[in-house]
Amino acid sequence: MKTIGIIGGGSLGLLFSAYLSDCYDVTLYTKTKTQAKCINENGITLHRQGEHHTKKVSAIPLGKNIKEADLIIITVKQYHLKEIIPFIQTLTIHTPLLFIQNGMSHIEILKNLPQRTLYLGTVEHGAMRTNMDSVHHTGIGTTRIASYRGEMESILPIVNFPWVIETDWYAMLVKKLVVNALINPLTALYRVKNGQLIHNSYFYKTMRLLFEEIASVLKLDSAFNYWENALGVCSRTSTNQSSMLKDIQEGRQTEIDAILGYIQTQAAEKRTSTPIVDFLYGSIKGIEEEKGD
Cα–Cα dist 243/143, whole Å: 17
By the 8 A CB rule, do 80 and 100 touch? Answer: no
Q: Is 138 a residue that touches its own copies (CB under 8 A)?
A: no
Degrees, nearest 5: CA angle 70-74-77 = 175
**Residue 102: strand, helix, or coil:** coil
Q: Which CB sits closer to its own copies, 177 or 188?
A: 188
Run of H or E residues at 149: strand 143-149
With CB under 8 A as the contact rule, the residue among 213, 247, 255, 257 that binds its own copies is 213
Q: How far is the C-alpha of 93 from the C-alpha of 113, rounded, in Å?
A: 9
Is 190 an interacting residue with respect to its own copies (CB under 8 A)? yes
Under the binding rule (CB under 8 A), the answer on residue 201 touching its own copies is yes
CB of 212 to its own copies, least distance (A): 9
Q: Which is closer to its own copies, CB of 168 or CB of 212? A: 212
User: Catalytic residue among 175, 176, 205, 246, which?
Assistant: 176
For its own copies, the binding residue among 85, 156, 164, 209 (CB under 8 A) is 209
- Of 3, 138, 265, 283, the one binding its own copies (CB under 8 A) is 283
Site string for its own copies, 249-278 (x = CB under 8 A): --------------------------xx-x
- The answer to whether the Cα torsion of 183, 229, 210, 196 is positive or negative is negative
- Count CB atoms within 10 A of the CB of residue 205: 10
Query: From the CB of 263, what's the least distance to its own copies, in Å?
Result: 14
Extract the runs of DSSP E, i.e. beta strands, from 150-200: 163-165
Sign of CA dihedral 291, 248, 83, 56: positive
The site that binds its own copies (CB under 8 A) totals a number of residues, namely 26
Q: Which of 33, 205, 219, 270 binds its own copies (CB under 8 A)?
A: 205
175 is catalytic: no
DSSP β-bridge partners for residue 61: 30
Binding mask 95-114 for its own copies (x = CB under 8 A): --------------------
- Give the number of other Cβ atoms within 10 Å of residue 265's Cβ: 14
The residues of the shown chain that bind its own copies, judged by CB under 8 A, are 189-190, 192, 196, 200-203, 205-206, 209-210, 213, 275-276, 278-280, 282-283, 285-290
